[in-house]
């Protein structure tokens, strides 16, 4: 946990968003490769929940100015700032 106090809310939020997006992608791939209808139904439910979580996280971030998916220049500047913050964390 050393060095985590230096992480900003926007770095943490973006990490959470990227993990949520990865979960959506992984569930979607799993749905296409499942062997039984029962497993597919379970995975589809999990996928729907993962999509809902991603939507909530991204909406929160947009409302708080932490994510600008429709304003690319602003998002690039925010990404560069987050990269710099992450690079300055102690290893």
Give the residue extent of every domain in the chain.
28-91
pLDDT for the residue numbered 87: 81
Task: Chunk the chain into consecutive blocks of 10 residues (it has 91) and report each block's average pLDDT, rounded to whole numbers.
Answer: 58 90 97 95 97 96 91 90 78 65
Both tokens assigned to 39:
């497993």
> Over the chain, what HEC string results?
CCCHHHCCHHHHHHHHHHHHHHHHHHHHHHHHHCCCHHHHHHHHHHHHHHHHHHHHHHHHHHHCCCCCCCCHHHHHHHHHHHHHHHHCCCC
Both tokens assigned to 37:
């209808």
pLDDT for the residue numbered 1: 42
pLDDT for the residue numbered 28: 97
């Amino acid at each position: 946990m050393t060095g985590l106090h230096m992480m900003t809310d926007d770095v943490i939020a973006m990490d959470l968003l990227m993990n949520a997006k990865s979960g959506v992608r992984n569930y979607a791939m799993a749905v296409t490769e499942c062997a039984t209808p029962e497993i597919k139904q379970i995975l589809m439910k999990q996928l729907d929940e993962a999509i809902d979580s991603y939507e909530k996280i991204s909406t929160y971030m947009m409302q708080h100015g932490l994510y600008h998916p429709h304003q690319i220049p602003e998002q690039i500047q925010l990404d560069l700032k987050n990269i710099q913050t992450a690079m300055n964390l102690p290893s």
